[in-house]
Structure 1
């Protein structure tokens, strides 16, 4: 479960992405357009230390981009190249925001979602001692057979920053679709994580054979 805070964030996540996205090789769209949120989902970090959120965003009239992010209370060693920026959170303090494709906590959560169908985290606020659930803005599902073994992901060995972005770990290769497109006739043949929102259903990520 993901506990959310009613907090001020400066700069906001979308402001960070407006500045960061145009510098990515896989980005398509107006480099000066403001980034807006279309939908999103979260994963749980079993250790409860790292926030894991995937945003589906659009800049102006451009295509939808999938941007997984991790939020940390301290810098991630060796991950300067994956840093999107820092933000000041009125409850949690300074947060380091990373492109999650370079974060091993995200890789482990994504592998579990694809292979074991762990799904997305329920999001909620604490209001006067009560839990107030925020409705999901999209659904995710996997086509992996029940009982599929989830390997221990371990370290990230290499990332190919393209579309899809390929995350190569000790035990599994993961592919994150940067521009989800339901009209694309090419479909992965391995275990696939699919997203559905606002009448759209399309693959979001899949596993590859190392």
Structure 2
């Protein structure tokens, strides 16, 4: 489960992406244009220390882009290549924001969704000691396979569309520009949101 805070972020996550996205090889859209949120989903960090949120966004009138992010309370050693930037969180203080593809907490969570249909984390607020659940903005559907989930550090990330994440003997392909879900891989993750014509492919296992 993902505990959310009613807080201000400076800059906001979308403002941070305005400058970061155009430098990605898979970027499509208007460089420098406002980035708008289409939908989002979260995974759980079993240790409860790292936030994991995947944003579906557009830059200007461009196509939908999939941007998984991790939020940390301190810099991640050796991950400068994947740093998106820092934000000031009015409750949690400074947060370091990373492209999740290079964060070791992300591949096991993505693999669980792709290969074991683990789904997304339930999001909630605590208000006066009462839990208020936020309705998800999209649905996820994975596969149920008997394949082992990765453990240990990320071995290699090949940025592109898809972005290839190799960890613990598993190769995951993260689709940066989601396409109609007609992929026939044994392990795959598809998603849908309001206004979308049909499910789109978000990730699959190699």
TM-score range, shorter chain: over 0.9
Q: Name the counterpart of 2:106.
A: 106
206 and 32 in structure 1: CA distance in 2 versus 1, 3 angstrom threshold: same
Q: Name the counterpart of 2:177.
A: 179
Give the drift of 1:188: 4.5
Give the drift of 1:118: 1.2
Alignment RMSD, CA only?
Answer: 1.2
* CA deviation map 1:29-69 (0-9, x unaligned): 11021000000000000000000000000011100000000
Give the drift of 1:158: 0.9
Q: Distance in 1 between matches of 2:107 and 2:168?
A: 11
Q: Name the counterpart of 1:168.
A: 166
Q: Name the counterpart of 2:81.
A: 81
Q: Distance in 2 between matches of 1:130 and 1:85?
A: 33
**Would you say the 8 A contact 2:7–2:89 is kept in 1?**
yes
- Structure 2: any 5+ residue segments left out of the alignment? none
**Would you say the 8 A contact 1:41–1:54 is kept in 2?**
yes
* Structure 1 runs of 4+ with >4 Å offset: none
- Report the count of equivalent residues: 204
1:46 equivalent in alignment to 2:42: no
Q: Name the counterpart of 2:151.
A: 153
TM-score (norm 2): 0.95
- Structure 1: any 5+ residue segments left out of the alignment? none
Give the drift of 1:171: 1.8
Q: Distance in 2 between matches of 1:13 and 1:178?
A: 18
